[in-house]
């Protein structure tokens, strides 16, 4: 397996690449069983090979202007010890 990830354009875009089971070694090679005197040989090969390329682009304003808001009655907040 091999993979990498790279940020581009001041972390606005991200590119990732993943390749799995490049040497094609992830499989059950041979399985032998004897049932009622009959020998059975199985070879199971489920492919786990794949490549994945993903691109993520974050758009919009990264700096959100958050304003502090007062909720409720200021006098009531002072009386109860709130800020």
Mean pLDDT per 10-residue interval, the chain, length 83 residues:
93 94 78 88 81 92 69 72 65
Q: Residue 1 and residue 42: Cα distance in Å, rounded?
A: 26
In this prediction, residue 21 carries a pLDDT of 87
Q: Residue 22 and residue 34: Cα distance in Å, rounded?
A: 34
In this prediction, residue 82 carries a pLDDT of 63
Query: Considering just the CA atoms, what is the radius of gyration of the chain in Å?
Result: 30
In this prediction, residue 51 carries a pLDDT of 95
Burial of 19 from C-beta contacts in 10 A (0-12 / 13-18 / 19+): middle
């Amino acid at each position: 397996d091999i993979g990498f990830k790279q940020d581009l354009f001041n972390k606005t875009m991200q590119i990732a690449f993943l390749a799995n089971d490049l040497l094609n070694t992830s499989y059950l090679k041979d399985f032998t069983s004897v049932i009622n005197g009959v020998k059975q040989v199985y070879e199971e090969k489920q492919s786990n090979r794949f490549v994945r390329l993903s691109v993520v682009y974050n758009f919009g304003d990264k700096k959100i202007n958050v304003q502090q808001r007062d909720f409720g009655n200021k006098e009531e907040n002072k009386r109860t010890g709130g800020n």
